[in-house]
């Protein structure tokens, strides 16, 4: 680098410099997890240095080894794409949406409830109605922390987490109570009938997968080609400047959080209408933290989020086979995820180690997130 | 709806107060127990935020402490056994467990300190990483080490018992019961709160800590090492989160479940804000949150009787899950109502660099 005049890098060079740190972080995460897997073979008896390779081979085979595996990868990636964008869009506005979990659950609830009530209607009415219901339920659950932040200054990091718990309890109440369908051995919503999403190519790939992929360019357009996106990014980068420029940070906060909730709600609706067909009282999901990981790894950019979601989707899809064949608990995926995040956060260290001259991997808007913590209303 | 409108509001309020007074003595002893992990987490948060560090990772530190404490105590018990050493049914295994919980939490705090002070990474991200890592690692190791070994465990600390003559004494007896009929960790919370309150506002260390949290540059100018003090405070604060974890698996219950902290670390953050960044205030907030949880349980176990007929009709109309969600709802309501009027330490969340121009 020294002595040579720096030329303006082309698109490939730029993509490379943007992805170097995330790729290094992924490799670092896989390496640390390999060490943990190796150490855990001690529990079963002797140290098995080949166990990590065996586990990863099973992981790849489970995720890509068959049509079923690839389908499962795409299906697992779908909620992560939408959830990741729900978190990433928040980042762009200087908001940390830890509430994707609750918004997802509310979206799933809305889709399950409306889907069940319109099970007999024409699919052309039932499907849009159920999807819209999911999106609106999610948006409502995103609106609450947005409004709380805008009007009272309560930081979204705490309120969204509380709302995640409240969503879980609320769903438990509705599905063991008013929404419970008769005639099943456990508490669940009724069959969705005609509201079930159509599948394609003779596989389980449903309309929700297509919708998630289609929304990636839409969110990109929203952020970088629309006035609203410009305002969102300005508020995220510098709320004071946005205010002086005549924008309304409070309104934008509410709107952005509602949009985040809408995306996460769509993810929930897709899971119900496309895969499970009903909702149970104790519907479990790890979407909340997964979505944060995806958004951070994808640098809060829709395309990056798409790639990160495919990666984590593949890991989720392959982890089952890994647990069966190599005996490694699926929770190792969470460990890989956390280690990747750790390397991303410590990207200065990674860059110094690998002599990478790339921009920092954190979305810069995060500074706004942390600065508003504890005090400060975006009025 | 006619029924509800038919009830004179004032009467219902009086009935509600009467009911609260009636159930409170019964739930007083469990309130401090429920408040313990929240209060300890809040002390951790107060120390962090007073030093200018946001710590979202308290939940993860607590969970890791709970796991490490349970595992260490169980393994020790399995390998060496051991008879009670002293009061509270203290066995060597339990002691080892508490130490393991504290050490684990301090190690995670050191990681948080390194990420947020030296690396200058975003502090909320650092905290989230700690939460994700704690959830994943404890889940992974739980499956690997604890699940195949269902008899693992070292029991719990036992609680102190007041003589019944004292406990039945009105008001004073109830308050004594609440604070004294507890295990060692819950009982120590009150001491920690008072000690930290005094140290923070009456000692040289406290003055320096507050200076570093409010205006690190000024603190630096008068010769306080901002970096070193922040490191020290964040790591020491980890002790509280570790103790909170130890409480969950070695005093409150005698088992470990995945994600058993159930948001207490985050409720603790709300307690910090509600308590205006003072140990005593945070403790009061923790008691309030815990009371809302205990009240929810009391309503389920002993609903209002005939003397509170109107109140009973209203309460019976509210689904029981609402009472389960009370701590979370109260947290949001209080954050929304209070946060605008309370002011955080000015430098919270901002990494300090010597060369930086402000």
CB contact under 8 Å between B49 and A374, yes or no, is yes
Number of domains in chain B: 1
Q: How far apart are the first and last CA of chain A?
A: 46
CA-nearest residue of chain B to A335? B136
User: What's residue A84's pLDDT?
Assistant: 95
Sole residue written with tokens 């995806």: A294
Q: Which residues of chain B are within 8 Å of residue A44 when distances are taken between CB atoms?
A: none
CB contact under 8 Å between A335 and B123, yes or no, is no
Tens of pLDDT along B178-212?
777 778 888 889 999 999 999 999 999 999 999 98
Q: Does A154 touch chain B (CB under 8 A)?
A: yes
Band the pLDDT of A377: cuts 50, 70, 90.
very low
CB contact under 8 Å between A169 and B324, yes or no, is yes
Query: If you write DSSP's letter for every residue of A242-269 in order, what string do you get?
Result: HHHTT--HHHHHHHHHHHHHHHHHHHHH
Cα-based distances in Å from B61 to A292, B244, B258: 19, 9, 14
- Whether residue B329 has pLDDT greater than 60: yes
Q: State both tokens at B256.
A: 């470990």
A199 beta partners: A206
Domain of residue B234 covers: 2-341
Q: Which residues of chain A are within 8 Å of residue B125 when distances are taken between CB atoms?
A: 296, 341, 345, 362, 366
- Per the CB < 8 A criterion, the answer to whether A345 and B115 are in contact is yes
Q: What is the 3-state secondary structure (H, E, C) of chain A?
A: CCCCCCCCCCHHHHHHHHHHHHHHHHHHHHHHHHHHHHHHHHHHCCCCCCHHHHHHHHHHHHHHCCHHHHHHHHHHHHHHHHHHHHHHHHHHCCCCCCCHHHHHHHHHHHHHHHHHHCCCCCHHHHHHHHHHHHHHHHHHHHHHHHHHHHHHCCCHHHHHHHHHHHHHHHHHHHHHCCCCCCCCCCCECCCCHHHCCCECCCCCCEHHHHHHHHHHHHHHHHHHHCHHHHHHHHHHHCHHHHHHCCCCHHHHHHHHHHHHHHHHHHHHHHHHHHHHCCCECCCCCCHHHHHHHHHHHCCCCHHHHHHHHHHHHHHHHHHHHHHHHHCCCCCHHHHHHHHHHHHHHCHHHHHHHHCCCCCCCCCCCHHHHHHCCCCCCCC
Higher pLDDT, B324 or A221: A221
Domain assignments of chain A as residue spans, ordered by start: 12-371
* Among the partner residues B126, B143, B321, nearest to A329 by beta-carbon distance: B143
Band the pLDDT of A266: cuts 50, 70, 90.
very high
Q: Does A379 touch chain B (CB under 8 A)?
A: no
Distance between B161 CA and the closest CA of chain A, angstroms: 35
Q: State both tokens at B325.
A: 């969600």
Q: Which residues of chain A are within 8 Å of residue B56 when distances are taken between CB atoms?
A: 157
- Whether residue A117 has pLDDT greater than 60: yes
- Whether residue B250 has pLDDT greater than 70: yes
Distance between A155 CA and the closest CA of chain B, angstroms: 8
Rg (CA), chain B: 22
Higher pLDDT, A6 or A220: A220
B204 in a structural domain: yes
Band the pLDDT of A346: cuts 50, 70, 90.
confident
For residues A111 and A99, what is the distance between their CA atoms, to the nearest angstrom? 18
For residues A350 and A345, what is the distance between their CA atoms, to the nearest angstrom? 9
Band the pLDDT of B89: cuts 50, 70, 90.
confident
CB contact under 8 Å between B139 and A170, yes or no, is no
Helix axes A11-44, A332-345, angle to 10 degrees: 140
CA-nearest residue of chain B to A342? B129
Residues in A 90-119 with any Cβ partner in B closer than 8 A: 96, 98
| Lowest mean pLDDT across A367-371, B225-229, B251-255 | A367-371
* Among the partner residues B136, B335, B340, nearest to A159 by beta-carbon distance: B335
- Whether residue B167 has pLDDT greater than 70: no
* Among the partner residues B136, B342, B344, nearest to A335 by beta-carbon distance: B136
B279 in a structural domain: yes
Q: Which residues of chain A are within 8 Å of residue B144 when distances are taken between CB atoms?
A: 40, 43, 329
Q: Provide mean pLDDT across the span B38-63.
A: 93
CA B53 to chain centre: 18
User: What's residue A371's pLDDT?
Assistant: 65
Q: Which residues of chain B are within 8 Å of residue A141 when distances are taken between CB atoms?
A: none
User: What's residue B22's pLDDT?
Assistant: 78
CATH number of the domain residue B79 falls in: 1.10.3470
User: What's residue B342's pLDDT?
Assistant: 65
Band the pLDDT of A41: cuts 50, 70, 90.
confident
User: What's residue B1's pLDDT?
Assistant: 44
Q: Provide mean pLDDT across the span A60-79.
A: 91
Residue B349, phi then psi, degrees to nearest 5: 85, 0
Q: Which residues of chain A are within 8 Å of residue B345 when distances are taken between CB atoms?
A: 374
Higher pLDDT, B345 or B35: B35
B12 in a structural domain: yes
Sole residue written with tokens 């609402």: B322
For residues B161 and A142, what is the distance between their CA atoms, to the nearest angstrom? 47
CB contact under 8 Å between A334 and B329, yes or no, is no
Q: State both tokens at B132.
A: 């994700």
Tens of pLDDT along B276-301?
889 999 999 999 888 888 888 787 77
Q: Provide mean pLDDT across the span A111-126.
A: 88
Distance between B342 CA and the closest CA of chain A, angstroms: 7
Q: Provide mean pLDDT across the span A195-221.
A: 89
CB contact under 8 Å between B325 and A154, yes or no, is no
Higher pLDDT, B49 or B11: B49
Tens of pLDDT along A298-320?
888 999 999 999 999 999 899 88
Tens of pLDDT along A127-145?
999 999 999 999 999 999 9
Q: Provide mean pLDDT across the span A357-371.
A: 61
User: What's residue A166's pLDDT?
Assistant: 92
B347 in a structural domain: no
| Lowest mean pLDDT across A176-185, A262-271, B105-114, B207-216 | A176-185
CB contact under 8 Å between B136 and A338, yes or no, is yes
> Around A52, how many Cα atoms within 13 Å sit in the side-chain half-sphere?
16
- Whether residue B357 has pLDDT greater than 70: no
Q: What is the overall mean pLDDT for chain B?
A: 84
CB contact under 8 Å between A345 and B115, yes or no, is yes
B64 in a structural domain: yes
For residues A164 and A180, what is the distance between their CA atoms, to the nearest angstrom? 21
CB contact under 8 Å between A335 and B137, yes or no, is yes
CA-nearest residue of chain B to A370? B349
Q: Does A306 touch chain B (CB under 8 A)?
A: no
Please list, in sequence order, all residues whose beta carbon lies within 8 angstroms of the beta carbon of residue A100, skipping any fewer than 6 positions away: A83, A86, A87, A260, A264, A267, A287, A288, A291, A292
pLDDT-above-70 percentage for chain B: 94
| CATH architecture assigned to A12-371 | Orthogonal Bundle (1.10)
Q: What is the pTM of this model?
A: 0.86
User: What's residue A360's pLDDT?
Assistant: 57
Higher pLDDT, A61 or B150: A61
| Summary count for chain A: helices (H), strands (E) | 15, 0
CB contact under 8 Å between B263 and A161, yes or no, is yes
């Amino acid at each position: 680098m020294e002595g040579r005049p720096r030329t303006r890098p082309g698109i490939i060079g730029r993509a490379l410099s943007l992805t170097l740190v995330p790729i290094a972080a992924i490799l670092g995460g896989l390496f640390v997890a390999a060490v943990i897997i190796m150490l855990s073979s001690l529990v079963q008896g002797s140290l098995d240095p080949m166990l990590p390779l065996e586990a990863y081979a099973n992981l790849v085979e489970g995720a890509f080894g068959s049509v079923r595996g690839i389908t499962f990868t795409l299906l697992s990636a779908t909620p992560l794409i939408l959830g990741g964008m729900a978190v990433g869009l928040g980042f762009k506005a200087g908001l940390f949406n830890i509430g994707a979990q609750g918004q997802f659950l509310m979206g799933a609830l809305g889709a399950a409830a409306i889907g069940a009530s319109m099970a007999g209607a024409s699919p052309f009415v039932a499907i849009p109605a159920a999807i819209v219901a999911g999106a609106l339920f999610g948006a409502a659950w995103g609106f609450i922390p947005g409004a709380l932040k805008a009007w009272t200054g309560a930081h979204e990091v705490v309120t969204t987490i509380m709302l995640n718990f409240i969503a879980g309890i609320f769903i438990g109440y509705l599905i063991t109570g008013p929404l419970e369908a008769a005639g099943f051995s456990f508490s669940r919503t009724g069959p969705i009938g005609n509201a079930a999403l159509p599948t394609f190519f003779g596989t389980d790939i449903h309309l929700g997968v297509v919708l998630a992929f289609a929304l990636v360019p839409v969110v990109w357009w929203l952020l970088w080609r629309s006035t609203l996106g410009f305002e969102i990014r300005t508020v995220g980068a510098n709320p004071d400047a946005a205010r002086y420029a005549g924008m309304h940070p409070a309104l934008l906060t509410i709107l952005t959080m509602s949009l985040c909730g809408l995306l996460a709600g769509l993810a929930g609706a897709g899971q119900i209408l496309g895969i499970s067909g009903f909702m149970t009282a104790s519907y479990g999901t790890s979407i909340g933290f997964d979505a944060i990981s995806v958004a951070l790894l994808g640098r809060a950019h829709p395309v990056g989020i798409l790639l990160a979601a495919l990666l984590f989707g593949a890991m989720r899809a392959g982890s089952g086979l890994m647990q069966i064949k190599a005996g490694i608990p699926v929770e190792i995926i969470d460990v890989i995820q956390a280690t990747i995040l750790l390397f991303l956060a410590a990207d200065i260290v990674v860059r110094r180690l690998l002599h990478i001259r790339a921009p920092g991997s954190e979305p810069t808007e995060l500074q706004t997130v942390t600065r508003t913590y504890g005090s400060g209303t975006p009025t | 709806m006619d029924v509800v409108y038919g009830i004179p509001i004032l009467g219902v309020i009086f009935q509600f107060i009467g009911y609260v007074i009636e159930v409170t003595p019964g739930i007083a002893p469990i309130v401090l127990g429920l408040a313990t992990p929240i209060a300890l987490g809040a002390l951790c948060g107060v120390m962090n935020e007073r030093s200018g560090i946001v710590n979202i990772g308290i939940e993860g530190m607590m969970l890791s402490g709970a796991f490490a404490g349970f595992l260490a105590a169980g393994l020790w018990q399995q390998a060496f056994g051991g008879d009670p050493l002293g009061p509270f049914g203290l066995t060597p295994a339990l002691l080892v467990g508490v130490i393991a919980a504290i050490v684990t939490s301090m190690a995670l705090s050191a990681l948080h300190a390194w990420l947020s002070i030296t690396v200058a990474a975003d502090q909320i991200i650092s905290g989230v990483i700690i939460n994700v890592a704690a959830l994943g690692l404890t889940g992974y190791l739980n499956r690997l080490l604890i699940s195949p070994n269902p008899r693992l465990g070292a029991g719990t600390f036992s609680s102190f018992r007041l003589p019944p003559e004292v406990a039945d004494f009105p008001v004073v007896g109830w308050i004594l019961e609440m604070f004294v009929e507890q295990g060692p960790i819950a009982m120590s919370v009150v001491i920690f709160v008072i000690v930290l309150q005094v140290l923070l506002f009456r000692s040289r260390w406290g003055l320096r800590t507050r200076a570093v949290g409010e205006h690190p540059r000024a603190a630096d100018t008068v010769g306080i090492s901002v970096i070193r003090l922040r490191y020290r405070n964040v790591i020491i604060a980890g002790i509280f989160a570790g103790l909170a974890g130890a409480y969950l698996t070695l005093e409150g219950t005698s088992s470990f479940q995945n994600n058993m902290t159930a948001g207490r670390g985050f409720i603790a953050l709300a307690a910090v804000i509600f308590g205006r960044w003072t140990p005593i205030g945070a403790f009061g907030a923790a008691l309030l949150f815990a009371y809302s949880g205990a009240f929810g349980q009391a309503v389920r176990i002993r609903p209002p009787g005939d003397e509170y007929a109107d109140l009973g009709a209203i309460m019976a109309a509210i689904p029981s899950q609402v009472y389960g969600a009370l701590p979370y709802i109260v947290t949001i309501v209080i954050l929304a109502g209070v946060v605008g009027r309370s002011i955080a330490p000015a430098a919270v969340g901002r990494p300090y660099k010597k060369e930086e121009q402000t």
